[in-house]
Structure 1
Amino acid sequence: MASGTRGVAAATISLAVLLLVFCFSPSTAAAAAVPSIDATWTRHLPLPRGLLRGPESVAFDAKGQGPYSGVSDGRVLKWNGDTLGWSTYTYNPDYSSEACTASLLRPETATEGHCGRPLGLRFHLKSGYLYIADAYKGLMRVAPGGGEATVLVTEVDGVPLRFTNGVDIDQVTGEVYFTDSSRNYNRSQHEMVTRTGDSTGRLLRYDPRTGKAVVLQADVTYPNGLAISADRTHLIISSTGPCKLLRYWIKGSKAGTMELFADLPGYPDNVRPDKKGRYWVALHREKAELPFGVDSHLLALRIDADGKIIEEMRGPKGVRPTEVVERKGGRLFMGSVELHYVSVVTRK
């Protein structure tokens, strides 16, 4: 065989091997084996007119009303149906319409440090209190009916909250678990948290009975959203930069320890339980996502109690979700820190 022919043959074999490795790698094979939801076409719950955007988290109260979602001017809004649309539910003590309404000359990124940026939202169903993880204001709470929120925690162990992010509640004890994503960077610098591998994040707990907050775990790499397990023994926490889910044990022989729960094919944001002992994890984007090619990427994954992917949601690359919440009737409500609406996906 001529040397040129041998070279072509070798190159062909090498390419074939690479294709086989790619096509049958564990992550790709696993993704191909699970059911997939097509979220190309969704119903939109559009925010009020103007430059409002970013309904990041999606919460429902004890009566099933909502969704409620925090937006870019520092408020939390409530959806009242197609006829009435959104109304203001709560706001932080520093909010004012005049100072916090964005314009072309004054984007929300220039005012969010003062006006606040609500991220994680959760209701304590028995009391009706809504807890808010505001990236700049800290952990806040508003009484049933809304109005001005009360700031509960701005620092823990003398260290200020710099990037308050995710929140969930033990519905039995009322204890509130939340994350501070970084001691070095705030929300507007979130890309630096990933880029530098910053590992100064903290997992925290607030006890409403004592009004005290404590550090459960320090030096966590980009802790983001979190969810308490159905049996209340542990928390599942997004570690965004490393594309992982972590498990922190609240009870049992491993109490006070953290371990790897799942490796993910993308950058996770919020985690929400699906009421069946499993979790929906929103992915902001995939690890190796190309800007060209097919206009479809992973939006979210359903993870079982063992950390395995059992379902996926796919949709346009222009949609980068931050939270997926499953409700009755097969409806999946999807929040995004970038878009001007909450999406509703209905299973077919």
Structure 2
Amino acid sequence: MALTDTLTRWRYRLVPDHLVGEVLSKRWIDNAIPLLILLAVVCAFSFAMPDFFGPSSISDLTRQWGEFSLLVLALMIVMVAGGIDLSIGSTFALGNIVALALIAVAGWPMWAVVLGTLACGAAVGLVNGLLVGYLRLRAFLTTLVTLIIVRAVVDMLLLNYSVAIASTFIDSDSWYYPGEGSVFGVPFSVVLTIILAIIIHLVFSRSRIGWQVLATGGSRRSAHNVGIPVRRVVCATYVVSGVLAALSGLLFASRLGGAGADTGVGLEIMALTAAVLGGNSLGGGRGSAAKAIIGSITAMIMVNGLIRMGVPAGANSLMLGLVLFTAVAIDVRWIKNLHKVVSKVYVSPAYASLPKPPGTDSYSPYAVNDKLAPVTLIGLGEIDGPEDIILDDDDNIYTGNRTGDVIRFFAPDYKQHEVYAHVGGRPLGLAFDKNGDLLVCIGGMGLYRVTKDREIEKLTDETNRSWLSVIDDSRLRLADDLDVALDGRVFFSEATVRYEMHEWPVDGLESRGNGRIICYDPSSKSTHTVLRNLKFPNGICMAHDGQSFFFAETWACTVSRYWFDGPKKGTVETVIPDLPGYPDNINRASDGTFWLALVGIRTPSLDLALKMPGFRRRMARRIAPDEWLYPNINTGCIVRFDATGTILDVMWDRGGENHPMITSMREHKGYLYIGGILNNRIGKLKLKSADKSWTGLASYWGQS
């Protein structure tokens, strides 16, 4: 190897360029700017006032933060759904005066005071929700009007009850506890806020209603088109906002025990500033409880710091306005430029050097021929993308199609077919287990089982996460082929952990080694990763020793053998190191050898480009994807090899008329059945010297 090639190899091995794209593509990267702003604010006020974060100051500040952060959470929920709520300051004041009136004047018990106060907040939110969600009035103007009306109601209540409230001593420990009590030294309001923030986080990240709110904020028209009740979702967000604002007012009343005409004035601007500072988008569809918490802490420190520094009230509001303006500008520019940066740095090619490909002339074991010319066609034009083929004991054919179905063609003439099961995703690799159930690798979904009663069961859609991996590689992105060991364990390949199924050519452009092989154990229902850093692992086929299996690495153009049991357990041996094309599925042959599909043939241009990762990086950044160098998948062939890697037979379709590309083949009773993920037919080829009684099921499990 030349010195330049050696240096290039080590440069791309030691410098993890792809980590930049991985980090920037994380959802939590949205919190980077808010966290930096928070750190800057903390450092600035710590330097300006050394005693600002003293114990006494922190104690008072945290109680105020517990109340204020509820308002920010309330506003965040509405913003995520694409709305705005300017009435939360007035609702806060309403909750404050209602709670005081109910406890001091009406003499209600504490539990009734809480329910009554929250009901008032919910009523205000319901009015906003009906007007904005169902009548489709503009949120800004509607909530501005609500702000004025609710503020007028608060003023009237103050006129009627302020004297009675001020002259009444509230003799109730339960009343003072929310505002002044603590839980293990932590203010009750802070504990309550943290609990509610966790609940809101779980709702948005783990529940259907949370996903519906995010979808509604992202695009209301699209959300409506997919069946989401947009009006009801929008209305519900305003109701929740009103409840949280009223709860904040209740905590404020419990802590200070008084009400005034200026209570809650300007809080909506302060809460809006905090929400945007935290990274919650004014455009909707993007936000979280964590962002609201970060923003509320930042805004609370700023406001209290400016007050303690003696900044006049007018200047204080001016500062908040400037901060809000700056936050909005940063939010817009950050998101816009973040997507641009990710699109340029995420694709990160590595150095890859393939061995010299064997020739295909008459002296080569891969000599081109026309052995696939006699292939007869099954289901021509009736099937779309049969990536894998398998047959049962009754000679029926099973295969997947592009629309998410497992199709069954009925023997003996295969003229009729039916949808055997609708699995939803893209069915790829197929295998029968010992019980006769059909196991299916579904791209983007994982490993599934279709029982004899046609019930669809998920076996696994995740595996153990790598401890040092930046990317969350626990989720299965592209499970593509599988085979079953004698003890029932299922070994299946996942081609790439970085890209989705429709992006598989980009993984070929990278040739980094993003794939892995995974084992699912049905006895313990556990899943773990067996091999990592493979270059698009694809076909998997059990060897006859019951202790190992063969697997293909498509972009490495190799076939290897892995021992999962026995004295060589855990070792990998390369069986075929220099294929002339890109290997795909592997299956057993009747004479104890193995069939291998080549999905495409290598080209000198791409082989050379694999040694030039800088060239491929510039190509990915500067030109359109449809003009990139891609692996050639227009010409395929079928190879038969033995356990030592010796090539025994090769079948080509020189004219490319029957099967221009091949991803799988299955031998069954003297015939070879051929599939291709880009084909619209299944091929059937008569084998001259094959055992006419041999079936794959019998080879694995014996005669049924």
TM-score (norm 1): 0.78
Q: Does 1:73 align with 2:403?
A: yes
**Residue-by-residue CA offset, 1:259-285 (whole Å, 9 max, x unaligned):** 211021110110001133311111111
Conservation of the 8 A alpha-carbon contact between 2:586 and 2:595: yes
Shift of residue 33 of structure 1? 7.3
Q: Does 1:283 align with 2:578?
A: no
- Secondary structure at the aligned position of 2:364 is classed as helix
Q: Does 1:58 align with 2:389?
A: yes
Aligned to 1:313: 651
Aligned to 1:129: 437
- What is the 5 A alignment of 1:1-348? 28=361, 29-31=363-365, 38-46=371-379, 49=382, 52-61=383-392, 63-81=393-411, 82=413, 85-92=416-423, 95=424, 116-124=425-433, 126-146=434-454, 148-158=455-465, 159-170=474-485, 172-262=486-576, 263-288=578-603, 298-315=636-653, 316-317=655-656, 319-329=660-670, 331-348=671-688
Provide the rounded CA distance (Å) in 1 between the counterparts of 2:516 and 2:396: 30
Q: Which has the higher contact order (CA 8 A, sep 6+)?
A: 1
Aligned to 2:353: none
Shift of residue 91 of structure 1? 2.0
Structure 2 gap segments, 5+ residues each: 1-356, 466-473, 606-633, 689-704
Conservation of the 8 A alpha-carbon contact between 1:298 and 1:312: no
Provide the rounded CA distance (Å) in 2 between the counterparts of 1:304 and 1:277: 8
Aligned to 1:107: none
Provide the rounded CA distance (Å) in 1 between the counterparts of 2:460 and 2:529: 12
More helix per residue: 1 or 2? 2
Aligned to 2:316: none
Shift of residue 239 of structure 1? 0.2
Provide the rounded CA distance (Å) in 2 between the counterparts of 1:289 and 1:311: 24
- Secondary structure at the aligned position of 1:89 is classed as strand
Conservation of the 8 A alpha-carbon contact between 1:60 and 1:123: no
Q: What percent of counterpart residues are identical?
A: 28
Q: Evaluate the alpha carbon distance shift between residue 297 and residue 164 of structure 1 in structure 2; reply closer, same or farther with a 3 A threshold.
A: closer
Shift of residue 143 of structure 1? 0.8
Shift of residue 304 of structure 1? 0.8
Q: Evaluate the alpha carbon distance shift between residue 248 and residue 265 of structure 1 in structure 2; reply closer, same or farther with a 3 A threshold.
A: same
Aligned to 2:204: none
CA RMSD of aligned residues (A): 2.3
Q: Evaluate the alpha carbon distance shift between residue 210 and residue 196 of structure 1 in structure 2; reply closer, same or farther with a 3 A threshold.
A: same
Provide the rounded CA distance (Å) in 2 between the counterparts of 1:145 and 1:37: 42
Structure 1 gap segments, 5+ residues each: 1-23, 96-115, 291-295
Provide the rounded CA distance (Å) in 1 between the counterparts of 2:569 and 2:559: 17
Provide the rounded CA distance (Å) in 1 between the counterparts of 2:542 and 2:398: 20
**Residue-by-residue CA offset, 1:24-70 (whole Å, 9 max, x unaligned):** 96775332679x66112321111674xx4111101122x24321001
Shift of residue 224 of structure 1? 0.6
**Residue-by-residue CA offset, 1:188-209 (whole Å, 9 max, x unaligned):** 1111111110312111111111
Conservation of the 8 A alpha-carbon contact between 1:164 and 1:181: yes
Figure out how many residues of one structure are paired with residues of the other and give that number: 290
- Secondary structure at the aligned position of 1:160 is classed as coil
**Residue-by-residue CA offset, 1:248-306 (whole Å, 9 max, x unaligned):** 1122332112221102111011000113331111111111389xxxxx95511001110
Provide the rounded CA distance (Å) in 1 between the counterparts of 2:410 and 2:535: 38
Conservation of the 8 A alpha-carbon contact between 1:298 and 1:313: no
Shift of residue 71 of structure 1? 0.6
Q: Rg larger in 1 or in 2?
A: 2
Provide the rounded CA distance (Å) in 2 between the counterparts of 1:257 and 1:215: 15
Provide the rounded CA distance (Å) in 2 between the counterparts of 1:277 and 1:289: 34
Q: Evaluate the alpha carbon distance shift between residue 48 and residue 27 of structure 1 in structure 2; reply closer, same or farther with a 3 A threshold.
A: closer
More strand per residue: 1 or 2? 1
Q: Evaluate the alpha carbon distance shift between residue 177 and residue 251 of structure 1 in structure 2; reply closer, same or farther with a 3 A threshold.
A: same
Shift of residue 344 of structure 1? 0.4
Provide the rounded CA distance (Å) in 1 between the counterparts of 2:366 and 2:395: 36
Provide the rounded CA distance (Å) in 2 between the counterparts of 1:273 and 1:196: 31
- Secondary structure at the aligned position of 2:648 is classed as strand
- Secondary structure at the aligned position of 2:408 is classed as strand
